[in-house]
């Protein structure tokens, strides 16, 4: 029903105009975010950046109330069809991305200011999204088209070896690599070491450097657990973070856009947050009780099934998985697994690696 503006009070007329203003800026922000999303999807081929852009767009979409859309009246909008010569001066994709990020940020500021009066939830969300967008814009501009080697290689990995302290660490990893493992994480926590054989940082650096060289020689990705400084020092392909480690946004600023960022998750909301944070992959578990995670209750196969149903990035089921227990994990929907003892404690690490790879490849 169209209300005759002449029947409205001045305050009601102003509120109706503000509804139109909010509708226009919601449209503007959502359209700009779609430009960023498609740049990440079709040019950068970065699922993590696509997910982050889409999440912001959908968050705004949920707040685009019918009352705002019903206030729309394009025929009486004096700015309809207006352009600016600057729009014709955008020669590169990066300029288009920067212009649309700025467009979204400006629209969000308008929504924040005018939403306070009649829609405080919208105002608060617009402010939160604006600050998230600042980081997303930088990541989009830093990312290079075609520079997806690490992420493309990650997508092809189905078996993830996580190390534990061992006097024959290099031999173990070499055996796994020769058997076909192409993703290795160096994990050397104090809690994992023997009480009489603690590692200092110089030793960790030497071990990480040696494993990095082995992985490079075999064309494998090399990840460092927790330690961003060690990862950068040995030029690792990325870092894996636990729930109590640095926030992913901080880690990403230190690592840059090209390296991989993984995150341990133990519940579906943690997985969703890792996706929103721009992680490249997640661990899902522990599926079974394992000495690698003492005191951590197993999550079972239900969480694996949840991850399989909705995770848009690679996920690795982890926790007490070996060739015997792999079947149910695969049936729950996992096509990738991470293991420690299944390889490091095996009498023949190469044979154990090859057996797991055969099972995963047969099921994939």
pLDDT digit string, tens, across residues 212-253: 999 998 989 999 999 999 999 999 999 999 999 999 999 999
pLDDT band at 145 (very low <50, low <70, confident <90, very high): confident
Span 85-100, average pLDDT: 79
Q: Which of 71-75, 118-122, 213-217, 282-286 has the lowest mean pLDDT?
A: 71-75
- The answer to whether 161 and 173 are in contact (CB under 8 A) is yes
Is residue 175 a contact partner of residue 134, using CB atoms and an 8 Å limit? no
151 to 91, 129, 146, 308, 309: CA distances (angstroms): 28, 26, 11, 19, 21
The answer, yes or no, to whether residue 195 has pLDDT greater than 60, is no
Catalytic-role residue among 264, 292, 336, 353: 264
Does residue 146 have a pLDDT over 60?
Answer: no
Report yes or no: 282 and 315 within 8 Å, Cβ to Cβ. yes
Residue 230 to residue 293: CA distance in whole angstroms: 22
The pLDDT of residue 11 is 82
Q: What is the mean pLDDT of residues 48-76?
A: 90
Q: How many Å apart are CA 106 and CA 216, to the nearest integer?
A: 45
pLDDT band at 88 (very low <50, low <70, confident <90, very high): low
Mean pLDDT of 195-205: 86
Kindly report the backbone phi and psi dihedral angles of residue 132, in degrees, each rounded to the nearest multiple of 5, phi listed first: -65, -40
Q: Out of 5-9, 35-39, 117-121, 206-210, pick the least confident.
A: 5-9
Quote the pLDDT of residue 1. 45
pLDDT tens profile 300-348: 999 999 999 999 999 999 999 999 999 999 999 999 999 999 999 999 9
Instruction: Spot the catalytic one: 46, 54, 263, 293.
Output: 293
b/e 101-139 (16+ beta carbons within 10 angstroms → b)? bebbbebbebbbebbeeebeebbebbbebbebbeebbeb
Q: How far apart are CA 318 and CA 183, in angstroms?
A: 14
In the set 28, 187, 227, 336, the catalytic residue is 187
Residue 254 and residue 252: Cα distance in Å, rounded? Answer: 5
The mean pLDDT of 196-224, rounded to a whole number, is 93
The pLDDT of residue 230: 97
Is 293 a known active-site residue? yes
Burial degree of 66 (CB within 10 A; 0-12, 13-18, 19+): exposed
Model confidence at 271: pLDDT above 80: yes
- Strand-pairing partners, residue 238, are 223, 260
Residue 122 DSSP class: H
How confident is the model over 7-40, as pLDDT tens digits? 568 888 899 999 999 999 999 999 999 999 999 9
pTM of the predicted model, to two decimals?
Answer: 0.74
Residue 186 has pLDDT above 50, yes or no: yes
Show Cβ contacts of residue 14 under 8 Å, excluding neighbours closer than 6 positions. none
Residues of the chain above pLDDT 70, percent? 89
Q: Are 201 and 189 a contacting pair, CB within 8 Å?
A: no
The structural domains of the chain, ordered by start, are 5-142 (1.20.1260), 149-363 (3.20.20.70)
The token pair at 217 is 């020689």
Give the SS3 label for residue 169: helix
């Amino acid at each position: 029903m169209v209300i005759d503006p002449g029947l409205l009070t001045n305050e009601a007329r102003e509120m109706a105009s503000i509804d139109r203003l909010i509708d226009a800026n919601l449209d503007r922000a959502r359209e700009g975010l779609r430009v960023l999303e498609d740049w990440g999807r079709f040019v950068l081929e970065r699922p993590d950046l696509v997910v982050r852009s889409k999440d912001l767009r959908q968050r705004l979409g949920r707040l685009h109330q019918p009352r705002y859309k019903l206030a729309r009246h394009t025929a009486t909008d004096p700015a309809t069809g207006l352009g600016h010569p600057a729009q014709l001066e955008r020669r590169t994709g990066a300029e288009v991305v920067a212009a649309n990020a700025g467009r979204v940020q400006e629209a969000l500021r308008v929504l924040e200011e005018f939403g306070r009066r009649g829609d405080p939830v919208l105002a608060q969300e617009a402010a939160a999204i604006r600050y998230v967008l600042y980081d997303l814009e930088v990541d989009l501009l830093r990312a290079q088209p075609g520079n997806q080697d690490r992420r493309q290689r990650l997508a092809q990995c189905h078996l993830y070896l996580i190390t534990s302290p061992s006097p024959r660490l290099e031999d173990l990893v070499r055996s796994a690599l020769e058997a076909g493992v192409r993703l290795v994480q160096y994990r050397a926590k104090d809690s994992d070491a023997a009480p009489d054989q603690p590692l200092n940082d110089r030793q960790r650096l030497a071990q990480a450097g040696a494993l990095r060289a082995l992985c490079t020689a075999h064309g494998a990705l090399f990840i460092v657990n927790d330690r961003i400084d060690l990862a950068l020092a040995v030029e690792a392909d990325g870092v894996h973070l636990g729930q109590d480690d640095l926030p992913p946004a901080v880690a990403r600023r230190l690592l840059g856009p090209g390296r991989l960022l993984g995150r341990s998750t133990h519940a579906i909301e943690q997985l969703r947050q890792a996706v929103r944070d721009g992680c490249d992959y997640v661990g899902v578990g522990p599926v079974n009780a394992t000495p690698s995670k003492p005191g951590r209750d197993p999550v079972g196969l239900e969480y694996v099934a949840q991850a399989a149903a909705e995770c848009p990035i690679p996920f690795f089921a982890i926790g007490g998985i070996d060739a015997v227990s792999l079947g149910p994990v695969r049936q729950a929907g996992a096509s990738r697994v991470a293991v420690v003892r299944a390889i490091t404690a095996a009498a023949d690490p190469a044979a154990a690696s090859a057996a797991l790879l055969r099972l995963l490849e047969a099921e994939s």
